A and B are shown apart, each in its own frame.
Chain A
Amino acid sequence: MNKQINRLNGGLIDHDQSLSFKFDGKRFQGHPGDTLASALLANGVRLMGRSFKYHRPRGVLTSGSEEPNALVELRSSGRQEPNTRATVAELYDGLAANSQNRWPSLERDVLSINDLFSNFLTAGFYYKTFMWPKAFWEKLYEPIIRNAAGLGSITGEDDPDVYDKGFLHCDLLVIGAGPAGLMAALTAGRAGARVILADEDFVLGGRLNAESIEVGGVAASDWAAHALAELSAMDNVRVLPRTTVIGAFDHGIYGAVERIADHLPTPASGQPRQIMWRIYSKRALLCAGATERPIAFSNNDRPGIMLAGAMRAYANRWAVRAHEQVAVFTNNDDGHRTAADLIAKGVHVTAVIDTRADAPSVDGTELFAGAQVIGSKGRLGLNSVTIRTDKGFTREIICGGLAVSGGWNPNVHLTCHQRGRPKWDEDLAAFVPGDNLPVGMTVAGAAAGAMSTYGALRTGAEGAIAALSDLDIPAGVPELPEAEDSPVKLRPFWHVSEGKGRAWIDLQNDVTVKDVKLAHQENYVSVEHLKRYTTLGMATDQGKTSNMAGLAVMAELTGKSIPETGTTIFRPPYTPMAMGALAGRAVGKHFHPVRETPSHKWAIEQGAVFTEVGDWLRAQWFPKEGETHWRQSVDREVLQTRASVGVCDVTTLGKIDVQGADAAEFLNKIYANGFAKLAVGKVRYGLMLREDGIAYDDGTAARLAEDHFVVTTTTANAVLVYRRMEFARQCLWPDLDVQLISTTEAWAQYAVAGPNSRKLLEKIVDACFDLSNEAFPFMSCAEITICEGCRARLFRISFSGELAYEIAVPTRYGDAMIRALMEAGEEFDVVPYGTEALGVMRIEKGHAAGNELNGTTTALNLGMGRMVSKKKDCIGNIMSEREGLNQPDALRLVGFKPVDPGQQVVAGGHLMKADGPVDAAHDQGYVTSAAFSPVLQSSIGIGYLKDGAERTGEVLRLANPLEGTEVKVEVVSAHFVDPDGGRQRA
């Protein structure tokens, strides 16, 4: 068992408890409060990853979510999580992680050979080569590149965890719980405002936990803990730890992801792994702090070289030293804090190298003012750095850790999510929030450039007061605790020019100062070109620690200032987030809701096979014992219906109740054919056009009373037709006296079809209603009662072409209805039929359905051109007259039969003349729907054929090169069965 050789005393970890974990199969010990990174450092592990391109050995750079280097594969099988930042992975007992992007091992990685060829693999080299021979790109070069690229891997197994989504509302959302955020939340919370305080960390307090300072006379971390305790006790404050606010969206809406169970081995039963919150805020205060930036120098990427603030945080919060001997390289006073804190913790600080000639003095170590680090040594971990002193001498400084500080960048990301641009602050040499913030957002603390602890506390309180004052919530000015208020002392210094090795800017994507110079040389000068050409800032850290240095180098090269050089655009999410959280529960079987028809339970009892029709599940056919192929079931259902009687659940068809004195006039405008004069008790087929004259939907409208219609739509268009009717009612003809309501789910509706359908219904419909052909002829409708008083509606309409009815009862009776129909039909050998038989019968009858109403066809194409009234104002009739839609050879809906009855008509095949080429130029049309007709004992189809109405009897080729078939078909009437319609009128 390894010893934690770098573990110090103190910190915010529980030294009394040990947690066991594995990295690359090797077992280590850590403590509660550790991250994977802090625990590895404590155990003397500096090498944690390999870089993307050159596979350079890399160690941890940061102590937070901006980490570019220390990425690992956490967990295994379906829970394997690639590219997990060790710096934010909370340690738990039994944690197992592996290094990634290396083979065979982290220490010995074969692809580190890339580094030897780095001079050939400069920025954008791949745009200039791999073009010859042409075929080699896809066959050779690209597969090699793809396999070498990528970072971590997933197993491809299903993620076993669940994710939730939730909605929160607040007066003030405080983003970040450092000194500014805590003070803001306290101020707003005490004022009684509804506050949400969210922070990505698992211990709230931000830098208060990483510093050795005092706030209000107590240790800063204690002050943070007290503040948190006060906030947690307030009913009006919701504290969300482990929660990253990922983006600022319109109108005060923020996305946030709360990691509920990522710090546990697995989520508890029923516990989501994460929750995606949509937060509706009246005001938001961004207190996201700042991110330290490194200084680039020759070989500045060795494990052990880390940000000064991170090294300090490891010592103060996690009680971990980076190494027994460390040095500091800085251009600002903050670097000196690291030296002081580490010395106080008993770490041997071998030197402080400060680029400023007038650097402040330090106690307990040697100061090199006006000096620079020009190189480093150590293959898999830092051994020493070489410096150039202000006098021009070189010195070798022994150190296994180097703390680097180039200053701090305010975390302005969320201020830019609505494309606001940050502005340049000369004193900080950094971008601070610009003037064009998302509406409702203000910024406080280091994120706003207030870098001292007191400045953060003060601006946090002020920000809260100002935000609440906008909302007319009075807030008292709190007494601010005493805290350090030191000014930022920094001289901008971005990279060391001298040195033999490469100076790394983007550590993950391996972008060097030289790469930026090459981009400049080749005129990829715009900051976006620089980024895209070199891949600077495009890694999983999105350049949080690297973009500034890239800009600075480019600014140097162009002679422009950094703000003139510009910034790239910050986009959500703030840090990478699991896609599972964005998907929530809408995955697997729950991707869409399931709509079940009223006969669903009964159909299951019958052993029905179901099919998806939009969100509906409909019975597709009802297999009987002994039937081994679906066609047997379907053929039987068709034949039995046509011979006697069949029943089908047609509830899914859209139903719209239209009422009012102007209901008829309204429908007359909605439908292309006339409706004004439809008599009460009658049903009419209706064709709806879009305003552009294209056929949209069809169905029936039944006039139950002078001022009452029931309209049906296709299943697919039920919602859309209703929406369009509301548009017409509210926006086009607002003064018509008409009301609409969708009743699709209010009525269970069954088609009862076949020569015995009347006899069957007579057994169910109460005797006072006469169903005889004379009393209730084809296209009649009535409100009736059945089964001794149950309310129902009866429509004599037919989709199958048989004598047929549709009967509707309130949905709650739907199950009873199907059972009653089947029972009453027993003596007629009634058969339930599914969507497949329904489809076969409508094709046999030549009725258009979804395949024919494909959104590009007109009434003319459908053979209903004459139905479109020119004598009234209705949607679509004007535009249907355009000449392009009325060509002499326009497509017409016709039927097709194979010349050889043994062959098959296939939907989606294209029609070609009997002789001549088979290509697009000679395309005559296409088959839309096809089926085997058990009545005709032949495959049949319907479809669109150029000038089809005039081509009956012509033999065509049905080309299906996709599946390598070509069938001779004869053009016939689309009405294969009972073309004169005698049956439905019987």
Chain B
Amino acid sequence: MIIDHPLLGPRDAQEFVYLGDATLIDRPDWQAENAAEAFHDYLYLRDNPAGEHRELWYHEQGDRSWLVVTRNTLTHEITSVELARDVARARGRGR
């Protein structure tokens, strides 16, 4: 596969390390009342869709960017690649 890195252009997927569903960005609030349950769902449950999947890849043999790749799990077609940091910020993560 080829991942079109937003900063570096097309790169072989072999340069990257895969983590999993991009919802791993949405780490729950540790002080929430249901924190234990929220962390359980966050860490262990997955939609695991057959189709479009937003997922985290790490450019370990490159610039060490974490990326959010939107990829179809049936066809492997990649429709978008974003810097995970931008996605995280857009999803309200900060400090």
> Interface on A for B, CB 8 Å cutoff?
249-253, 280, 418, 439, 662, 665, 691-692, 719, 723, 726-727, 730-736, 873, 877-879, 881-882
A877-B30, A882-B36 known; A734-B58 Cβ under 8 A? no
* Number of B residues, CB within 8 Å of A: 34
Q: CB distance A251 to B2 under 8 Å?
A: yes
Q: CB distance B43 to A730 under 8 Å?
A: no
A251-B1, A726-B66, A727-B66 known; A732-B25 Cβ under 8 A? yes
Number of residue pairs spanning A and B whose beta carbons lie under 8 angstroms apart: 78
Q: CB distance B94 to A735 under 8 Å?
A: yes
Q: CB distance B58 to A723 under 8 Å?
A: yes
Q: CB distance A731 to B85 under 8 Å?
A: yes
Minimum CB–CB distance for B22 against chain A, Å: 9
Q: CB distance A691 to B66 under 8 Å?
A: no
A732-B27, A735-B95 known; A727-B2 Cβ under 8 A? no
B88 within 8 A of A: yes
Q: CB distance A731 to B30 under 8 Å?
A: no
Contacts of A879 in B (CB 8 A): 36, 39-40, 43
- Against A, the Cβ 8 Å flags (1 = close, 0 = not) of B36-68 are 100110010000000000001010100011100
Q: CB distance A730 to B84 under 8 Å?
A: yes
CA distance A621 to B11 in the complex (A): 43
Q: Which of A249, A250, A439 has the most CB of B within 10 A?
A: A250
Q: CB distance A251 to B30 under 8 Å?
A: no
Complex: chain A residue closest to B25, CB-CB:
A731
Contacts of A734 in B (CB 8 A): 85, 88-89, 93-94
Complex: chain B residue closest to A881, CB-CB:
B36
CA distance A249 to B2 in the complex (A): 11
CA distance A735 to B95 in the complex (A): 5
- Against A, the Cβ 8 Å flags (1 = close, 0 = not) of B1-27 are 110000000001000010100001101
CA distance A881 to B30 in the complex (A): 12
Q: CB distance A726 to B2 under 8 Å?
A: no
Q: CB distance A878 to B35 under 8 Å?
A: yes
Complex: chain A residue closest to B30, CB-CB:
A873
Q: Which of B17, B43, B77 has the most CB of A within 10 A?
A: B43
26 A–B contact pairs at CB < 8 A? A250-B2, A251-B1, A251-B2, A252-B2, A253-B2, A439-B77, A665-B95, A691-B43, A723-B17, A726-B66, A727-B19, A730-B88, A731-B25, A732-B25, A733-B93, A734-B85, A734-B88, A734-B89, A734-B93, A735-B94, A873-B31, A877-B30, A878-B30, A879-B36, A881-B36, A882-B36
Q: CB distance B66 to A730 under 8 Å?
A: yes
- The 6 A-B pairs with the shortest beta carbon distances in the complex, nearest first, are A735-B94, A251-B2, A873-B30, A730-B85, A250-B1, A734-B85
Q: CB distance B94 to A280 under 8 Å?
A: no
CA distance A674 to B58 in the complex (A): 28
Complex: chain B residue closest to A249, CB-CB:
B1
CA distance A511 to B27 in the complex (A): 58
Contacts of A735 in B (CB 8 A): 89, 93-95
Q: CB distance B58 to A878 under 8 Å?
A: no
Complex: chain A residue closest to B35, CB-CB:
A878
Minimum CB–CB distance for B90 against chain A, Å: 10
Contacts of B83 in A (CB 8 A): 730
Minimum CB–CB distance for A416 against chain B, Å: 14
CA distance A419 to B36 in the complex (A): 42
Which chain B residues numbered 78 to 92 have a C-beta less than 8 Å away from chain A? 78, 83-85, 87-89
Q: CB distance A878 to B36 under 8 Å?
A: yes
Minimum CB–CB distance for A595 against chain B, Å: 16
Q: CB distance A731 to B66 under 8 Å?
A: yes
CA distance A879 to B28 in the complex (A): 12
Q: CB distance A731 to B94 under 8 Å?
A: no
A665-B95, A732-B27 given; name 18 further pairs at CB < 8 Å: A250-B1, A251-B76, A251-B78, A726-B58, A726-B66, A730-B66, A730-B84, A731-B66, A731-B87, A731-B88, A732-B25, A734-B88, A734-B89, A873-B31, A878-B39, A879-B39, A879-B40, A881-B36
Contacts of A732 in B (CB 8 A): 25, 27, 88, 93
Give which listed residue, B19, B25, B76, B87, contacts A250 with CB less than 8 A: B76
Contacts of B64 in A (CB 8 A): 726
A692-B43, A726-B58 known; A733-B94 Cβ under 8 A? yes
CA distance A439 to B78 in the complex (A): 12
Contacts of A252 in B (CB 8 A): 2
Contacts of A439 in B (CB 8 A): 75, 77
Minimum CB–CB distance for A593 against chain B, Å: 13
Contacts of A251 in B (CB 8 A): 1-2, 76, 78
A251-B76, A723-B58 known; A730-B65 Cβ under 8 A? yes
Minimum CB–CB distance for A704 against chain B, Å: 22
CA distance A250 to B64 in the complex (A): 23
CA distance A601 to B71 in the complex (A): 48
CA distance A231 to B50 in the complex (A): 44
Contacts of A730 in B (CB 8 A): 65-66, 83-85, 88
Q: Which of A418, A439, A692, A730 has the most CB of B within 10 A?
A: A730
Complex: chain B residue closest to A740, CB-CB:
B64
Contacts of A662 in B (CB 8 A): 95
Minimum CB–CB distance for A721 against chain B, Å: 13
CA distance A662 to B95 in the complex (A): 9
Minimum CB–CB distance for A333 against chain B, Å: 41
